[in-house]
Structure 1
Amino acid sequence: MAGLWVCSLLVTGANQGIGLGLVQQFLGLPNPPEWVFAACRDPKGQRAQVRPDLASRHPNLVIIWLEVTDLASIKVAAARVGEQVGGSGLNILINNAGIAKLNLLDTEMLEDMSQIYITNTVGPLLLSQAFLPLLKKAAQGSLGSALSCSKAALINMSSYGGSISSPSSWDLMQVVSYCCSKAALNMLTKCQSLGYREHSILCTALHPGWVQTDVGGSVGHTPPMTVDTSVQGMMKVLSSLSEKDTGTFLDW
């Protein structure tokens, strides 16, 4: 895709759905990244779709076990990626892993809300902290000062459900904990954009649309959008991101 030149990237939640779709799109670029890291909670599980045969066809693909709520797992993954990329660092970290549960306002529970918040909001925070040194290396090794995904970028997969100003999804899906976690993720993205600007790292929250995935279908309705449609749209956005987009929440 024109305008998107990436040496390395890591996608969490890459065993299926949007994460796997992003991995496949990057691998299929005319000039694919030197390294594509597909981070999965259960890469060998029955529901996992990132299979070893995919890695055998793409020697630049590395499948990594990663539990985004486990700090020790995150540190091990960051060390492994660091060993692979060396001094060139990591160009893009895509925090895609997320969960949702259909709990209404009056039935929301402490355990569910805590689990969803830790996965959808705290996880991306911990990952950005662990991979920050690699993102900084990539930024320092890139030519020019303008922010872009080709330099260094942190992409948080958010949701329109987390938009406080436009809660249009309320009548369709009252997934309270999910919406709250994504609103917090949007604020985290803003904080990261301010804190990491000095390191020349672009930070953006991206809405993938209502997509036909396990999370998308968890509200009891069939989502209207396929993974391919969503991912192709997001790839166009990633290729065009610049300084004006850092700290923003975008719907592709």
Structure 2
Amino acid sequence: MAGLRVRSILVTGANRGIGLGLVQHLLELPEPPQWVFAGCRDPKGQRAQELQNLASKHPNLVIVPLEVADPDSIKAAAARVGEQLGGSGLNLLINNAGMLINNTLENETLENMTQVYTTNTIGPLLLGQAFLPLLKKAAQGSPGSGLSCSKAAIINISSIGGSIKEAYFWDLANNLSYRCSKAALNMLTKCQSLGYREHGILCVALHPGWVQTDMGSSAGRTPPLTVEASVQGMLKVLSCLSEKDTGTFLDWEGKVVPW
């Protein structure tokens, strides 16, 4: 993890699970970021208590109100982060916020599909758009011509559940809206990698593994990975990403996940 060096980073969905784990480990790095922005819906709510406790101990942690399904909230968050950064840009945007509604092919609804797709796919699209100026500024201010997370990057937290080839654990959980939203997020990542390459921005979809979180345990089984193991693995992967990786779908160990 010591290899990951970024000046500024934003993690969405940072009040619990993988998002909170990412924030905790980033703050503990030998060379922590100058700014860690933690996005969450209700920064003053009970579900953000651990995040509040961290912020009281780490002056480089800034909690940002952010509802990824609300375009106005996204724009306000971008303005808040830009103000805090002053004249510098944002190096790393991690689109971690997501949701899952347990369902089957038979009982899926328009409402479920719309809600999950809005959070898991459209949210990362709008966040990429809103933070593009700050990401471009970071890329322009970084030396070298290659792509990396220390320069400027968008990391979309996806899932092997979105792999069309694998259809991982279909018999255990159909989770139709979640699978479709993550498959769409993978395509968004590919499109972002093509559209933002000219600006010096790396874009990767990352599968964190089947992790012991509220979402991960919703299928009724205990997932094999702890949050700590997943986060440590992902941070190691992020430190090694380069131009050859942009537009790819990788897991927490850096292995390629089939589309």
Q: Check whether TM > 0.5.
A: yes
Note if contact 1:16-1:49 (Cα within 8 Å) is conserved in structure 2: no
Note if contact 1:36-1:62 (Cα within 8 Å) is conserved in structure 2: yes
Q: Which residue of 1 aligns with 2:125?
A: 125
- Any stretches of 5+ residues in structure 2 without a counterpart? 253-259
SS of corresponding position for 1:156? strand
Instruction: Indicate yes or no: 2:16 matched with 1:30.
Output: no
Q: Which residues in structure 2 correspond to 1:165-244 (within 5 Å)?
A: 165-244=165-244
- Any stretches of 5+ residues in structure 1 without a counterpart? none
Note if contact 2:92-2:155 (Cα within 8 Å) is conserved in structure 1: yes
Aligned letter for 1:20? L
How many correspondences in the alignment? 252
Q: Which residue of 2 aligns with 1:42?
A: 42
Q: Which residue of 2 aligns with 1:3?
A: 3
Moved more, 56-65 or 212-221: 212-221
Note if contact 1:101-1:218 (Cα within 8 Å) is conserved in structure 2: no
Aligned letter for 1:67? E
Q: Which residue of 1 aligns with 2:255?
A: none
Q: CA deviation at 1:212?
A: 1.1
Instruction: Indicate yes or no: 2:82 matched with 1:82.
Output: yes
1:16-68 residue CA offsets vs partner (Å, 9 max, x unmatched)? 00000000111001111000000001222223343323112110000011000
Structure 1 runs, 4 residues or longer, greater than 4 Å off: none
Note if contact 2:8-2:90 (Cα within 8 Å) is conserved in structure 1: yes
TM-score (norm 1): 0.98
CA distance in 1, matches of 2:98, 2:211: 13
Q: CA deviation at 1:219?
A: 2.1
CA distance in 2, matches of 1:108, 1:192: 29
CA distance in 1, matches of 2:52, 2:22: 17
Q: CA deviation at 1:102?
A: 0.8
SS of corresponding position for 1:204? strand
TM-score (norm 2): 0.95
1:109-148 residue CA offsets vs partner (Å, 9 max, x unmatched)? 1101110000000000000000000000000000001100
The root-mean-square deviation of aligned C-alpha atoms, in Å, is 1.0
